[in-house]
Homo-oligomer: A and B are copies of this chain.
Amino acid sequence: MATREYKQFCGLARAMEMVGERWSMLIVRDLLNGPRRYTDLRKGLPAIPTNILSTRLKQLEEAGLATRRALPHPERAVVYELTEYGRDLEPALIALGRWGARTMTEPRPGEAITAEAVAMSFRTAFRPEQAQDTTVGFEARMGAFTIRLQITDGSLAVGPGMHPAPDLVIERLSGHPVRELMSGSKTPADVLADGSVRVEGDPALLGRFAEMFRF
């Protein structure tokens, strides 16, 4: 395949040769949430041309970042899954995402908000030092989709979908309460008072949420 090379002996150059092409890192981002099928990936990346998606998946497989696996019989589907090497990109993607989030106030016209992008934003906003020794589960219901957040002994697991046994359910009623909490533009008391959010569980946990997820 001989992807274009930078002709430099440099770790950054090597990284960019492997995942520097358009869309590659976003595909890895989506796969960080677990194995995904081709059509799941298409859904999470509404603007990607299908030929580019298949090309990138082949390249990721070839580079050892992902594997392609056919599910056993009744499912009759193909799933793509990150290897450990691919998962090791997570810190770099978080660092990039955190940097990019600084100029991100409102969605631009035509921009999609995908579950995977939101999951990523929870990852980038997570403050491990605020979550020391904490174990708590959240379920964030944000209109079209729901995200599950589990913090176990201070380490975070995120994914799209419902939480099996949340300590707190955070349900968006109007506006963007979760984004406002995370950016610090509103306090937990604000969003509870103005009716933009409804919680199930101990409302005090919303304060812990705001401490642990902050840009």
**Which residues of A are at the interface with B, using a C-beta cutoff of 8 A?**
4-16, 18, 20, 22-23, 25-26, 29, 45-47, 85, 88-89, 91-104, 107-108, 110-114, 117, 120-121, 124
Question: 11 A-B residue contacts at CB 8 Å?
Answer: A4-B22, A8-B114, A8-B117, A10-B26, A10-B114, A11-B99, A13-B26, A16-B25, A18-B100, A88-B99, A92-B92
Asked, given contacts A7-B112, A26-B6, whether A92 binds B88 with beta carbons under 8 Å apart, the answer is no
Residues of B within 8 A of A100 (CB): 10-16, 18
Kindly state the separation between the CA atoms of A92 and B124 in the bound complex, as whole angstroms.
Answer: 12
In chain B, what residue has the closest Cβ to A13?
B26
Residues of B within 8 A of A96 (CB): 11-12, 15-16, 92, 95-96
A142 smallest CB distance to B (angstroms): 12
Which of B14, B16, B20, B117 contacts A10 (CB under 8 A)? B117
Kindly report how many copies of this chain are found in the complex they form together.
Answer: 2
Residue contact A10 to B97, C-beta cutoff 8 Å: yes
Residues of B within 8 A of A111 (CB): 7-9
A61 smallest CB distance to B (angstroms): 15
Kindly state the separation between the CA atoms of A120 and B29 in the bound complex, as whole angstroms.
Answer: 25
Extra A-B contacts (4), CB below 8 Å, given A12-B100, A16-B22: A9-B117, A10-B114, A13-B26, A14-B100
Residue contact A11 to B104, C-beta cutoff 8 Å: yes
Kindly state the separation between the CA atoms of A89 and B94 in the bound complex, as whole angstroms.
Answer: 12
In chain B, what residue has the closest Cβ to A86?
B99
Name which of A11, A88, A103, A120 has the most chain B CB atoms within 10 A of its CB: A11
Residue contact A112 to B45, C-beta cutoff 8 Å: no
Asked, given contacts A16-B100, A100-B16, A100-B18, whether A11 binds B120 with beta carbons under 8 Å apart, the answer is yes
Kindly state the separation between the CA atoms of A13 and B93 in the bound complex, as whole angstroms.
Answer: 10
Kindly state the separation between the CA atoms of A88 and B96 in the bound complex, as whole angstroms.
Answer: 10
A104 smallest CB distance to B (angstroms): 5
Which of B10, B92, B107, B124 contacts A95 (CB under 8 A)? B92
Asked, given contacts A20-B22, A96-B16, A99-B88, whether A121 binds B10 with beta carbons under 8 Å apart, the answer is yes
